[in-house]
Amino acid sequence: MTLDIITDSALSGIRHGFFGRAGGASSGVFKGLNCGYGSSDQHDIVTINRERVAKAMGVTPDNMIGVHQIHSAEALIVRTPRTDLPKADALVTKTRGLVLSVLTADCQPVLFADPKTGVIGAAHAGWKGALHGVLENTVNQMETLGADRNGIIAIIGPTISQRNYEVGPEFQERFLDADPDYRRFFTKAQGDRSHFDLPAFGVHRLRQHGVGIVRWTRHCTYAEPDRFFSYRRSMHRKEADYGRLIAAIRL
């Protein structure tokens, strides 16, 4: 069993990883490291997968914390292990030994750290959460714990790339209503369709908010079926369900 763990040199010294689907116990459409209890995969198999991630992160599963993701802008501060799953889409902490985790399958997994102050964060940022401010709210909550946004490093992990993210006119209008300048994140597709650049939008929002270092690992979930789960690819293939990737960070 070898896990596929993508890391970024900007976060060297901070234990973190964007986990691919390799090395998991799931089978069928979930083949690999499906970490989503919200999928129709077997619960005990997902538990095995999550235990493997926790081991790779150097903690017990009880110390790997997540949330009930709802595509919101809600970011929570956590200080102790918790077994409940509050409704939110980002977590921050300053507590050593806690692993913050988020699940994705095309949306942006974003890992944050201010190494100087010892504050970390993790966010699930799809188009809705990113548009409504989940990334900025994560930074704000980190500042509540003493972080300096200029010293924060934010890494966007595997997400759907622009060439594979086709959207309709009503989708684009939501963004242009918020800011006409957001047109630059769209390119023309067939008919009235467009392609949306989700990771570039995430990078832009974080930089606009004053985050010191922001970058994307440049992995597309849709384009690499053997390496990543993808909600959109699964829908195009008319598969019954899809797996969830996990991203995690700890002090």
Q: Which of 239, 224, 243, 241 is nearest to 45 (CA)?
A: 243
168 in a structural domain: no
Contact 22, 32 (CB under 8 A): yes
96 in a structural domain: yes
The two structure tokens encoding residue 60: 């017990």
Whether the predicted pLDDT of 10 surpasses 80: yes
Q: Please state the domain count of the chain.
A: 1
The two structure tokens encoding residue 162: 């622009």
| pLDDT class of 123 with cuts at 50, 70, 90 | very high
Note down the domain range covering 10. Answer: 5-161+197-250
33 in a structural domain: yes
237 in a structural domain: yes
| pLDDT averaged over every residue in the chain | 97
Q: Which of 95, 131, 96 is nearest to 204 (CA)?
A: 131
127 in a structural domain: yes
Is residue 216 exposed (0-12), middle (13-18) or buried (19+ Cβ within 10 Å)?
Answer: buried
pLDDT, tens digit (0-9, with 9 covering 90-100), for 33-59 = 999 999 999 999 999 999 999 999 999
Q: What is the pTM of this model?
A: 0.97
| pLDDT class of 99 with cuts at 50, 70, 90 | very high
Using DSSP's 3-state secondary structure scheme, residue 142 falls into: helix
pLDDT, tens digit (0-9, with 9 covering 90-100), for 53-77 = 999 999 999 999 999 999 999 999 9
174 in a structural domain: no
Whether the predicted pLDDT of 83 surpasses 90: no
Whether the predicted pLDDT of 1 surpasses 80: no
pLDDT at 112: 98
pLDDT, tens digit (0-9, with 9 covering 90-100), for 188-243 = 999 999 999 999 999 999 999 999 999 999 999 999 999 999 999 999 999 999 99
| pLDDT class of 85 with cuts at 50, 70, 90 | confident
59 in a structural domain: yes
CATH code assigned at 114? 3.60.140.10
